[in-house]
Structure 1
Amino acid sequence: MLIFDNRVVGNKLLTIRKRLGLTQTQVAEAAELSDRAYADIERGTVNMRMDTILRICRALRITPDEILTECPDQPSPSQKNSPRSSVGSAGGAGAYVFQVSSG
């Protein structure tokens, strides 16, 4: 299931960043963002454009589905019989595609 709550996405970014032992400044620099902009993203107080999401994901070496979906490996019972969206690498450096799959 896609996450549309900026606070949830921000919390996921915070968790991943801390797990990797990085500072906000390091991630911001790698993603070509200001420290303030990245801090606001982690707090969930701003909306992100798709290119910003992709730059942050590249900086953290993760795929967008790790921050934009809930439990991508285990769909909730209500999702088992309905189509779901997933995001994955499309082969090129930093290229991602959205796919709709069933099941």
Structure 2
Amino acid sequence: MGDDDARIFGAKVKELREAAGLTQVALAKKAGVQQGQLSEIEIGKRIPRLDTIKKLARALGVPPHELITD
């Protein structure tokens, strides 16, 4: 995953989080990740591991591939 991919992924997570009416804190807690980690993912600063992608997808109620497609 390159820088552009990381930004696209983060934007998708943020879009789905907001559509679900969740704050970063709420999603982080639901997914079992640190809020700071989620923040860095959403701004494209951090590239998540596969297990983190799965956790976020599960918490958002979407299949993991939905987070990684444009």
Q: Distance in 1 between matches of 2:25 and 2:56?
A: 12
**Residue in structure 2 matched with residue 81 of structure 1 by the alignment:** none
Unaligned residue ranges in structure 1 (runs of 5+): 71-103
Quote the sequence identity (%): 35
Larger Rg: 1 or 2?
Answer: 1
Letter in 2 for 1:29: K
Question: Post-superposition shift, 1:31?
Answer: 1.0
SS at 1:15 equivalent: helix
**Residue in structure 1 matched with residue 56 of structure 2 by the alignment:** 56
**Residue in structure 1 matched with residue 44 of structure 2 by the alignment:** 44
More strand by share: 1
TM-score by structure 2 length? 0.90
More helix by share: 2
Question: Post-superposition shift, 1:64?
Answer: 1.2
**Residue in structure 2 matched with residue 6 of structure 1 by the alignment:** 6
Structure 1 runs (4+) greater than 4 angstroms displaced: none
Unaligned residue ranges in structure 2 (runs of 5+): none
